[in-house]
Structure 1
Amino acid sequence: MNINTPPRRVGPRPTTTGLEIPHDQMDQFSPPEIRAALIKEAESLPGVFTGPSQVSEPSSLALRLHEPRGPWQAFLHPSRDEFGHIHRAGFMHLTLPAPLIDPLTEAGWVEAHPISLRPQWPDTIVMLYAPRDEAELAVAVAALRASWQQASSQLP
């Protein structure tokens, strides 16, 4: 999967609240087995540990690093080690390397988090829509890995 040139997401974009808080996806959720596979992939990344989010609802699963080494824009503030989280519906809020945001937005996979318009927040925070099947899971995993690479300074 070349995340720099992602395939177009099938169908219309999910409905979202469009709010800073809560910035939620309202439809087109992940089936339980796809969300479980996404979590398994996240937990397999070196240096990652999971638990309740420090910046979102407690039911979302934070993706945190034991040794965060990435730049300021690689993290969901005010946390210093949470680079993303997975919501119960399967969508993620995460930071992405800036060059990936436009291609993923244009292909229908992400939208900017409204809070990223504030100057004290990085403009790299996005909502990645919940993957609905194995093909969409592959895109979500590629984006997740790019976020992890940025946050852990493991850039290719």
Structure 2
Amino acid sequence: MAQRAGSRPSTTAKIPHSQTNQQPADAHFLTQVLDEAASWPDVVQGASGISVEGARALSLADGVAGGLPEAFMVGREFCHGHAQGDYSLHMTLPLELVDAIDASGWIEPHFLVLTGQLPRTHVMVYAPRDGQEVAVVTGLVRASYEFARGLAQA
């Protein structure tokens, strides 16, 4: 995985877990990522069952076989894009990817992972800031989707 440009953004260590700087001007790039993922088979886009008001979630459709419980945040939700001026995402990723992607500067563990309240599969993906970052983040959402589908193991 290519290294993310620049330093890591600042984030909070409280609910809601948010990215506090290095944000794009608006939700345009995040919308591109979420709209692309919503076009994939068996993905339903809707309101998040766990995030802030206005957050857009990606979930597996009902009746579709899914992966392990660690592949989901709540219900069948495997990813959500934030709202209210924070354009980062939360998602689940298989452990085989987490360390390498973290080392490349694209993600950090959800702060509740550090307290043992969530499995290590739960991560924050920093907000995409340009078209190249949209492609990388879309690839990460694809990995989360495949994990939710049971195509990758924790």
TM-score (norm: length of structure 2)? 0.88
CA separation of 1:45 and 1:154: change in aligned 2, threshold 3 A: farther
CA separation of 1:65 and 1:123: change in aligned 2, threshold 3 A: same
**Do residues 102 (structure 1) and 99 (structure 2) align?**
yes
After superposition, where does 1:1-150 map in structure 2 within 5 Å? 6-19=1-14, 21-30=15-24, 31-66=26-61, 67-76=64-73, 79-88=74-83, 89-119=86-116, 121-150=118-147
Runs of 4+ in 1 over 3 A off after TM superposition: 117-120
Q: RMSD value over aligned CA atoms?
A: 1.5
Deviation, 1:68, is: 4.8
| SS at 2:141 equivalent | helix
**Long gaps (5+) in structure 2:** none
Deviation, 1:121, is: 2.6
1:68 and 1:80 in contact (8 A); partners too: no
Amino acid at match of 2:16: P
Number of matched pairs: 147
1:69 and 1:153 in contact (8 A); partners too: yes
**CA deviations over 1:13-52 (Å, ceiling 9, x no partner):** 1111122x12100111234331221121121121111111
Residue 3 (structure 1) aligns with: none
CA separation of 1:63 and 1:28: change in aligned 2, threshold 3 A: same
| SS at 1:62 equivalent | strand
